[in-house]
Amino acid sequence: MIKNKKFLKKLFIASLAVGSFAFVPKIYNFQQITSIAHAEVKEYIGIGEYIMSGKETPEAAIENAKIYAQRNACEQAGFFLTSYSKSKNGILEKDEIEIFTAGILKVINTNTEEIPLKGEASGWIKYRVTLTANIDTNIIDDSISRWMKKSEEDRSKAIAENNTFKKIIDEQREKISKLERDLNNVKSIQNKKRIKEEFESIEKLSAYLNKLREGALANENDKVRIYTEAIKINPNGAEAYFWLALQLNGEQEISYLSKAIEIKPNYADAYYFRANTYYLSLHNYELAIADYTKVIELNSGRKFESYESRANCYKEIGNYEKAIADYIKTIENKPNKSLNYLDLANCYFYLNSYENAINYYIKALKIINPNNINNPKLHVWYDNLATCYMAIGDSAKAREAYMMSM
């Protein structure tokens, strides 16, 4: 894991611009307009709807509908990029595609409709936004290249924030869908009042989410202030503590991540990044191991990343048997990552299990380009391999390995 603590900006900012609101009760599929093979531009139609509560302005309601229409288009455009990624040997993971798609999707035009509701819902207004967006296929490869050059930590944090927004959105969308159904069937004045109050409570949450989105779009110098303001709006919002923590370092970061976990005890991303800070910044390997273990128990999308990092922590404290078990789990998920084989081989080496070490050194070195003379550790691995051969009495192979290390 790379220790770079900077945030990914451009692609992540773009992702939030199209996917950061939950206040639309209905999702429409959109159709791809252009399907000509090898077309330079692919166009999509996205539709979003939003029912305005009594205390909202039309401008705010329209903006919410527009943002959801953008996300709607983004989700469908993601199907194209998923296929494109598969044609490139699956270079992008699913979570990366969601963020990446948002970064290259461009809105061309929008149309807004005001739809007064009828029947029992009379007096309420629904806004529908229809937009056209496109992707210039000529820029995809360059954009993917820039994304892949970001550190694992940058990409990981971007995905964490995006996933947090998605979870909030899904929860609120479910609430609003139910309220819309209730609104269409309501009979009594008392029930109408209840529905109105529930819509207004969701509207209060929108102020919190707006502040989170403002923080995500802000420059680095303003993020701490904005996320602190979000906490004042909603002191029980675990997400604000989480994102504030990611702007900080060391004990301060630990403090806010711990608060997020206190509010949301199964907040896997908060455990994961707290573990990273314990491991990479504070070198408290025991506490890092505890948090990585919690992430694994929660069976989150970071489970295999946590196996790898927990293995590194076990190795740091000399618990090579447990490190070996975790590296094997990691290899099951990433069979082509040479470093995991090398780490596993090193653990066997430290335990004097030379034949196992030889097996994994050879597997790792087959993946690594042996002509990569810029790799500063390549000679160390060949030296270790040679030592293993000497330990089992194979001097000929030991000599070959020593020659490769020079």
Six-digit token string for 123? 């007096």
CA angle 231, 63, 69 (to 5 degrees): 110
Residue-wise burial string across 350-373, b where 16 or more C-beta atoms lie within 10 A, e elsewhere: eeebbebbbbbbebbbeebeeeee
Report the distance separating Cα 154 and Cα 152, nearest Å. 6
Joined tokens for residue 20: 């950061």
Smallest CA-to-CA distance from 56 within 209, 180, 159, 207 is with 207
Give the integer Cα–Cα distance in Å for 243 and 224: 9
Cα atoms in the Cβ-side hemisphere of radius 13 Å centred on 27: 17
Task: Please give the model's pTM, rounded to 2 decimal places.
Answer: 0.66
pLDDT in tens, the chain (406 residues): 433 333 323 332 233 333 333 322 233 333 333 333 444 788 899 998 887 766 667 887 787 788 778 878 888 888 888 877 777 665 677 777 777 777 788 888 999 999 887 766 667 788 999 999 888 877 787 777 777 777 777 777 677 767 766 676 667 667 767 766 776 666 666 676 777 677 666 666 777 777 887 787 677 789 899 999 999 988 999 999 999 999 999 999 999 999 999 999 999 999 999 999 999 999 999 999 999 999 999 998 889 999 999 999 999 999 999 999 999 999 998 888 888 999 999 999 999 999 999 999 999 988 886 555 566 678 888 899 999 999 999 999 999 998 887 7
Between the two ends of the chain, the Cα-to-Cα distance in Å is 28
Name the residue ranges covered by the structural domains of the chain: 10-247, 339-406
Does domain 339-406 fall into CATH 3.40.50.2000?
A: no
